[in-house]
Amino acid sequence: MGKKEMYNCLFLSWTCLCFLPGYDSEECVTSVLAKRGSVDVPKGGTLSLSCVVQHCGDDGWTGGWGLSTEGQFLLFSLTPRHHLSKVTLTTNSTRLIMDILNVNQSDHGMYQCQITWVEGSTSVGHMIYVNITAAIPPTPMRKVYSRVAVYVSTCLVITLVLGLAYHIRSKVPSQPPPIPPPKPPPRSQSARKDKPPTPKPKPKIELVYAALSKDCLEQQNPNPQRKAAQLTVYSSPRFS
């Protein structure tokens, strides 16, 4: 075997060792990595804490975040306010995240990440001080969002009410409107002209009959013989 073939075999062996699963050039040591510091959280906000658990491929570890008060360490359990999640970074490390919702003054203090390994030993990270501040007033953008939400909800409510009213009205049978009596056909102007005018009624003549006696006539005319009136004749001469 020549030197060239020997070098090729050594290179292939080194390459196979580098790609073996679980191989690491440095020795893996179980530990908890968390930065020391302080966090300010407004009242009513959300507190988020995280640490990196270097478990070196051993998935049997347990633990989480806790609060240290008066020399005692209280490990949080999962509640509607306390959420614990894990994010895998590599085959040897995992990020452990703790979220506390709607924080209040009782949540201030020293927080620490504590992990218990399979053999029973315990590792802790650095402490983080959490300070609860006054609640932040809503920004103008939040006010705009709230107004838009109120406007949209109002429009939805009005639409639902109108739709319900239309649905109920469509089920009730509607009564037909009353039919008006037929109007007489209008008279044409020609018919009015051809019709003769109505004659006015003539007044009635009443006949009165009277009975006169002979004595009554003699009293009214005592001198039956009247003198003949004298006639006067006028003449006018005419010359030719």
CATH number at residue 37: 2.60.40.10
Closest to 49 in 3D by CA, of 124, 136, 112: 112
Do residues 108 and 44 both lie within one domain? yes
Write out the residue range of the structural domain in which residue 37 sits.
24-133
d(CA 188, CA 94) in angstroms, rounded, equals 104
Do residues 145 and 106 both lie within one domain? no
Identify whether 6 is part of a domain: no
Identify whether 119 is part of a domain: yes
Find the range with the poorest average confidence among 1-5, 36-40, 101-105, 156-160: 1-5
Give the global pTM: 0.47
Identify whether 227 is part of a domain: no
Do residues 121 and 38 both lie within one domain? yes
Q: How many residues does the chain have?
A: 240
Do residues 60 and 83 both lie within one domain? yes
90 pLDDT more than 50: yes
Do residues 104 and 46 both lie within one domain? yes
Do residues 41 and 124 both lie within one domain? yes
State residue 24's pLDDT score. Answer: 45
Do residues 129 and 159 both lie within one domain? no
Do residues 94 and 143 both lie within one domain? no
- Taking only the tens place, the pLDDT of each residue in 174-231 is 666 677 777 777 665 555 555 566 666 666 666 555 555 555 555 555 555 544 445 5
Do residues 127 and 35 both lie within one domain? yes
Q: Which two tokens stand for residue 156?
A: 């939805």
Residues 6+ apart with CB under 8 A from 125: 32, 33, 34, 51, 112, 113, 114
Closest to 67 in 3D by CA, of 54, 49, 43: 49
Do residues 72 and 56 both lie within one domain? yes
Average pLDDT of the residues of the chain: 76
What's the total number of domains in the chain?
2
Do residues 148 and 126 both lie within one domain? no
Do residues 157 and 95 both lie within one domain? no
State residue 80's pLDDT score. Answer: 93
User: Amino acid identity of 49?
Assistant: L
- Backbone CA torsion sign across 58, 63, 68, 74: negative
State residue 18's pLDDT score. Answer: 45
Q: Which two tokens stand for residue 85?
A: 């999640």
